[in-house]
Amino acid sequence: MGGLALLLAVQESTGSYTQAGFATAAFGIANVIAAPWRARAVDRFGQRLALTTMASGQASGFIALALITEAKGVAAIWFLVLSAVVGLTSPPLGAAMRMVWASLTTAGDQRTKAFSIDAVCEELLFVGGPVIITAVIVASSPSVGLWLTAAAVSFGTAAMTSSASSGALRGTGGSGARGDRPLRQPGFARVLIVLLGVGAVLGVAEIATPAVAAQHDAVAASGWLLAAFAGGSALGGFLYGQLSLKAGIGAKLFVLCVSMGLAAVLVSQLETLGLFAAGLALVGLFLAPSLITGYLIADTIVPDTSRTESSTWINTSVNLGASLASAAAGFVIDTSSAGLALLLVGVIALALASAVPFTRLRKIELPADHAPDRCEQS
C-alpha cells in the first residue's frame, strides 16, 4: 500500500512525476540501506519494543506526508526527507513473522510448511494491497491513502506484537557476538548472490509486463498479467509446503533458481498475450519456493541471536536484484524489446545459480523425519 500511496500523493501535490519518482526512490533506497540495522535492533531489543518503535516512526512519516501534500507551497525537499523517514523506519514484519514461525515449529517439514503458508499469504497481500489502496484513492484522495497506510502499519504491528508468541521473543539484550552476524557465516553471502538472480527476474518481469501489454494495445491487461505472476508464485509456495522433497536444501535452491531462469528465457520467446500470461505464471511458480528455501537456509546456518537479521538479508538481496534489474530493463526495453530484457535476465539468473554453496549447505542438512529443535542443533 505504502509505495503506491506515496507515489500518487506526491505526484498530485507537486504535479510532477519526476518529483514523485525521486520521492519513491528515496523511500526505496532508505528502506534497503537501513534494513540490516532495523533487523539487528529487533534481534537485540525484542519484537515488541523494536517493531512498535519503528511502526510509530513510519506511521508518523506517512501522516506528515499526508499533511504536506494537502498544504500549499511546500518545498520539494520535504517530500524527499519524509519519504526517506518512511523508508528508514519500515518495521521488518515479514522477517519478524518468520522468527515467530520458527519459535512455534520444529526444524524440517513442519517449519517448511509454516514458511510456505507465510509466503502464500505475503503474495496475496502484494496482490490485494495495491487494489485496496487504489480503490481508496480513487474514491477519495491520495492523502487519504497515506492516512490509511499509517493506520494499517500502526494497528497491524500492534496486533502482531501484542500476541504472546511475539512478546516471548524478548531479544538478546546485546549479548550476541559479532561472529554471529549473518554475513560472517560461511556460505551465506553466496546464497545472497544466488538470490540476486531471483530478484532480477522479479524486477524485470514487473517492468516488462506493462510494456508487453502496451505492445498488444492492451494496457488494461497489465494488472491481470501481474496477477498471473503473483498467482503462480502463491501456487508454487503452497505446493512447496505440501511436497516432501528429499533433495538437499542446496540442491533445492539450485534447481529452483535454474528453473526460474529457464522460465524467463522461455517467456521471452512467447508472442501472444495469452501464452505470455501462462509463461509469467510459470516464472512465478518458482519465486515463492526460492524465497522459502532462502529463509530456511538463513534460519539454519545463522545463530539464533541473528535470525531476524538473516531473514532480512534474504529480502534485501532480492530487493536489490529487483531494483538494479528494473533500472537496466527500462533501458533495454526502450532501445530493443521486453523479450530481450527477459532473455538477458534469465541468462543472468542461470549464471548466478552456480554460486550455490553445495558443500557448506550439505554439512547442515537435517533429515526431515528427525528434525531437532534449535537447542539440540546448537
- pLDDT for 347 equals 97
User: Which of 62-71, 121-130, 237-246 ranks highest by mean pLDDT?
Assistant: 62-71
pLDDT at 367 over 80: no
Cβ neighbors of 341 (< 8 A, separation 6 or more) are: 204, 207, 208, 268, 328, 329, 332, 333
- pLDDT for 285 equals 95
List C-alpha distances in Å: 36 to 248, 283, 295. 28, 28, 15
- pLDDT for 374 equals 34
Which residue has better confidence, 264 or 244?
264
Find out whether 239 and 259 touch, Cβ atoms under 8 Å: no
For residues 310-318, average pLDDT: 87
Which residue has better confidence, 308 or 257?
257
pLDDT at 262 over 50: yes
For residues 77-105, average pLDDT: 92
pLDDT at 132 over 50: yes
- Above pLDDT 70, what percent of the chain? 94
Domains in the chain: boundaries: 1-113+129-174, 176-367
Homologous superfamily of 176-367 in CATH?
MFS general substrate transporter like domains (1.20.1250.20)
Which residue has better confidence, 132 or 353?
353
pLDDT at 141 over 70: yes
Residue 176 binned pLDDT confidence (cut-offs 50, 70, 90): low
- pLDDT for 120 equals 84
Separation CA 56–CA 360 (nearest Å): 40
Find out whether 336 and 244 touch, Cβ atoms under 8 Å: no
Which range (51-55, 142-146, 180-184, 316-320) has the least confidence? 180-184
For residues 101-118, average pLDDT: 87
Residue 28 binned pLDDT confidence (cut-offs 50, 70, 90): confident
- pLDDT for 269 equals 94
User: Which of 171-175, 326-330, 332-336, 353-357 ranks highest by mean pLDDT?
Assistant: 353-357
Q: Which of 352, 299, 296 is nearest to 324 (CA)?
A: 352
pLDDT at 369 over 60: no
- pLDDT for 82 equals 96
Angle at 56 between CA 53 and CA 57, to 5 degrees: 90
The 3-state secondary structure of the chain, one letter per residue: CHHHHHHHHHHHHHCCHHHHHHHHHHHHHHHHHHHHHHHHHHHHHCHHHHHHHHHHHHHHHHHHHHHHHCCCCCCHHHHHHHHHHHHHCCCCHHHHHHHHHHHHCCCCHHHHHHHHHHHHHHHHHHHHHHHHHHHHHHHCCHHHHHHHHHHHHHHHHHHHHCCHHHHCCCCCCCCCCHHHCHHHCCCHHHHHHHHHHHHHHHHHHHHHHHHHHHHCCCHHHHHHHHHHHHHHHHHHHHHHHHCCCCCCHHHHHHHHHHHHHHHHHHHCCCCCHHHHHHHHHHHHHCHHHHHHHHHHHHHHHCCHHHHHHHHHHHHHHHHHHHHHHHHHHHHHHHHCCHHHHHHHHHHHHHHHHCCCCHHHHHHCCCCCCCCCCHHHHC
- pLDDT for 355 equals 94
User: Which of 36-45, 53-62, 105-114 ranks highest by mean pLDDT?
Assistant: 53-62
Which range (106-110, 175-179, 301-305) has the least confidence? 175-179
pLDDT digits (tens, 9 = 90+) for 8-25: 888 889 888 778 878 887
Which range (76-85, 90-99, 146-155, 342-351) has the least confidence? 90-99
pLDDT at 261 over 50: yes
Residue 364 binned pLDDT confidence (cut-offs 50, 70, 90): low
pLDDT digits (tens, 9 = 90+) for 275-285: 999 999 999 99
pLDDT digits (tens, 9 = 90+) for 193-223: 999 999 999 988 988 888 888 888 887 787 7
Find out whether 289 and 237 touch, Cβ atoms under 8 Å: yes
Find how far residue 358's CA is from the centre of its chain: 24
pLDDT at 131 over 80: no
